[in-house]
Amino acid sequence: MQRTEWYKNAVVYQIYPFSFYDADNDGWGDIEGIISKLDYLSELGVTAIWFSPLYKSPDYDYGYDISDYRDIDPKFGSLDDFKRMVALCHEKGIRVIMDIAINHSSIEHEWFKKAIADTESPYRNYYIIRQGRRTDKELLPPTNWDSTFTGSAWENIKGTDDFYLHLFCVEQADLNWENPDVRNEAAEIFNFWFDIGVDGFRLDVFNMFSKVYPLQDSKKRLMGTGSEFYIDGPRMHEFLRELNEKCFSKYDSYTVGESYQPHKEDAKAYVDVNNHELDTIFNFGHLDSDNVAKFIKVPFNLRKFKDGLFGPQKESFGSGWNTLVLENHDNARSNARFGIDPKKYHYEASTMLPAITFLGFGTPFIYMGEEFGMTNVRFPSVDDCKDPVTHFIYHMFRKFHLPKSYVLKCVNYGARDMARVPIRWDNSVNNGFNAGAKPWQDPCEPLVDVSLENDLKSEKSVFRFYQQVLKIKKTEKAAVYGNITELDHDHKKIVAYLRELDHEGLFVCANFSAKPTKYTLSEEVLKRNPKLILTNYDRTSLDAKLSLRPYEVLVAKF
């Protein structure tokens, strides 16, 4: 099949199905709820939807522990419901991107059940199972590796001396990608969904498929012990090329990989068109500019933000493609981060951020609720959080005798739960998420009382501003294909860049601070004679010498 590279002109909207819309009022979002909002997404300007996992799952990691890769979890609907949704999406010109976590499976998957039930089962080699180390006093794991979630990366198989590897939750057993049967299973799963009509995939933590063998101890670290043996492993590129040959290249498909702390050289190679691996990966360096390990708040560093935002754009331009993202199911809301006071500058920050991000080089990814300015919430207690990572971090911090009040502040700054509370559609019961049943996750009190209904009634509508940004992205070729030139990188308050194609293009400039900031346009900008086409204030023209107000953004065309 001829590949059209449709993703280069796409606007992708991510739905976390648990919290989008609960049509049958059972507390869980569902496929019928998604179907009911497709016209809304079309109105926004969405051309593709990325669905966080809809597969069967016991939900230890809320969808990312998959127990059946070929079926839909009943709380969301049925496989027939999914097929109907795919058809309706396609009728509206919306592509469908599925999420798949296949570095590991649920321990409730039939493969794993068979693997531990019989040491002679061929499924034993589907997982990374090793004998522990006996001492005079205890049975130790095969290596000293840490899980990224919950302490040791190894879990003992009860009644034996054997352990299985789990780089995430203990309920998520790592698959053995060295086994060709596992790779064949993966290829068949991709093709199963492609044949149903799915247009692409987001591959969860894909760059951990390949491990370094033989497995060995690592130098002990406070966190991440062993990571040098499972990030960007020696066969990573080989495995991706194999998947590309067996699956991705056979369809008019799109792939985006979630890379876990990738090495710079590997990150570039994964998306190099000549390597035939993935179309894009996510780069999150800019999202690390105000925190350590997400939970620990540090002073915002704009230059670090710009390094993370523009670095991948420059590195992939001409050899691959890029992604542009502010939020997702793993990150707190952007308008309550980066030194921003969301109560004082909610509209200004919620509009400045997408303008500077989505008009760059790459495909925009919008996380549900972001388009009307949803903010973080206040969790009164860690018990109000569902995410196992939040609980792991909370208890780990407490083991270091940090005060409960401080640790709860950390939770309320960076917990993944922030993005996973139900969407606030309107001002009715449960903010319109459903007809009144208790939601699976407590919506909690938001930092700013925002709903789509209120936003659309406001003269300063974040949703309407998103529409304008996306219209520019889709109608200006330079916003898609143009070269990117960053300006004034070392400026501590200003973000500025040019997009240019065939002597036409865009100039984007913003004051990324709460203080009024003077900025003089360079000769490089002035000689192009740009004309203002979008701003989040009441400015009508672009002057050579600007006094930019807090979080003011300007988009000009030349």
Residues serving a catalytic function are 204, 258
Please give the single-letter amino acid code of residue 21.
Y
Strands 531-535 and 553-557: antiparallel
CA gap 382, 395 in Å, rounded:
10
CA gap 231, 167 in Å, rounded:
11
Give the CA distances from residue 246 to residues 189, 276, 403, in Å, rounded to whole numbers and listed in that order. Answer: 11, 11, 53
CA gap 453, 432 in Å, rounded:
10
CA gap 233, 212 in Å, rounded:
6
Spatial CA neighbour of 520 closest among 538, 485, 547, 557: 547
CA gap 146, 149 in Å, rounded:
8
Give me the helices (H) in 361-499, please.
388-399, 404-414, 417-420, 452-457, 462-475, 477-481
Strands 200-203 and 254-258: parallel
Furthest CA-CA distance within the chain: 78
For 299-322, what is the HEC assignment? Answer: CCCHHHHHHHHHHHHHHHCCCCCC
Cis geometry, peptide bond prior to residue 443 (ω within 30 degrees of 0): no
CA gap 452, 467 in Å, rounded:
14
CA gap 410, 428 in Å, rounded:
31
